[in-house]
Amino acid sequence: MDTSNKWFSLHGKTALITGARTGIGQAIAVGLAKAGAKVVLVGHRDNMQDTELKVEQLGGSYETFLMDLSKVEEVKGKCEEILASLSIDIVVNNAGIIRREPAVSHSLEDWQAAMDTNINSVFLLCQAFAKPMLEREKGKIINIASLLSFQGGITVPGYAASKHAIAGLTKALANEWGASGIQVNAIAPGYIATNNTEALRNNEERNASILSRIPAGRWGKPDDLVGAAVFLASDASDYVNGHVLMVDGGWMAR
Ligand code: NAP
């Protein structure tokens, strides 16, 4: 019996993950390393040690790069720096921010910050890393969407707009690049206990209301996203393209 589990193996692959310092990005980076990938950890602060240590403990290999995704004008150059020394097979566009403020007083600055980090930079990263993938006719791009790629959310208009755009961009790129062996998919996490949702969990009323709608009966953990990420990064998903995969404990089914 062949026990190599080649469908989901990422041995020999290099995966770049943005926002790999914390939360979902850290869990996905460690999960892809566990599946055999070399991981390229991208963050905007020089403090990736926790993730680096977790990868090291698995016997995995990594490189770390600094890139501030809120500075869209710097993104192309930073990607070129990475591509000068590395061939990237898998890109996980995970980094994101959320600004909570009612729509009527939501500042243009907050709107712009969410758009720059959550969608404008993602477009530039997809463009930059897809070029060599198109030449090789193979590659995987995974964008981290949200339930707010489908719903409006509460007091987060910039975030909701940026995450709806992630779903649209994912499908647009899947259409253009599918015939060239590149799959572009997205993962829409449900309510996951990370820094991003700390304010919600600290609000007793919102916390109870959110929990009451999750069929799984609990908040998600960053590790809950790893299976979907490994699947979409591996050969097992070669005929899956333009899909937004909800990993939400059943939230959208309710
Ligand atoms: P998180 O722990 O706050 O992770 C966000 C990551 O993005 C952090 O590592 C952060 O780095 C990085 N980041 C922020 N601004 C950046 C910038 N300008 N340049 C580079 N990196 C930047 O929260 P998370 O929940 O894991 O979020 C990860 C993704 O999942 C986000 O796209 C988020 O929208 C999405 N998501 C989360 C949930 C949820 O329930 N948690 C649900 C749906 C979607 P620093 O910490 O160093 O600033």
pLDDT in tens, 46-87: 899 999 999 999 999 999 999 999 999 999 999 999 999 999
For residues 15 and 36, give the distance between their C-alpha atoms in angstroms, rounded to a whole number.
Answer: 10
Atom of ligand 1 nearest to the CA of 47: 47
Active site residue 191: no
What integer is the mean pLDDT of 234-243?
98
Residue 139: pLDDT band (50, 70, 90) is very high
Task: Locate the domains of the chain by residue range.
Answer: 14-253
Q: Residue 4 above 90 pLDDT?
A: no
CB 192 within 8 A of CB 250: no
CB 229 within 8 A of CB 31: yes
What's the confidence (pLDDT) of residue 82? 98
What's the confidence (pLDDT) of residue 157? 98
Is the CB of 159 within 6 Å of ligand 1? Answer: no
Render the burial of 61-77: b for 16+ CB within 10 Å, e for the rest.
Answer: ebebbebbbbeeeebee
What's the confidence (pLDDT) of residue 1? 59
pLDDT in tens, 158-214: 999 999 999 999 999 999 999 999 999 999 999 999 999 999 999 999 999 999 999
For residues 249 and 191, give the distance between their C-alpha atoms in angstroms, rounded to a whole number.
Answer: 8
Q: Give residue 94 CA to ligand 1 midpoint distance, Å.
A: 7
pLDDT in tens, 11-33: 999 999 999 999 999 999 999 99
Is the CB of 43 within 6 Å of ligand 1? Answer: yes
Q: Residue 6 above 90 pLDDT?
A: no
Taking CA atoms only, the protein residue closest to ligand 1 atom 33 is 96
pLDDT in tens, 92-125: 999 999 999 999 999 999 999 999 999 999 999 9
pTM strictly above 0.85: yes
Q: Residue 132 above 80 pLDDT?
A: yes
What's the confidence (pLDDT) of residue 3? 58
Q: Give residue 58 CA to ligand 1 midpoint distance, Å.
A: 23
Q: Give residue 26 CA to ligand 1 midpoint distance, Å.
A: 10
Burial class (CB in 10 A: 0-12, 13-18, 19+), 206: middle
Burial class (CB in 10 A: 0-12, 13-18, 19+), 89: buried
Is the CB of 46 within 6 Å of ligand 1? Answer: no
Q: Match domain 14-253 to its CATH number in 3.30.420.40, 3.40.50.1100, 3.40.430.10, 3.40.50.720.
A: 3.40.50.720
Residue 5: pLDDT band (50, 70, 90) is confident
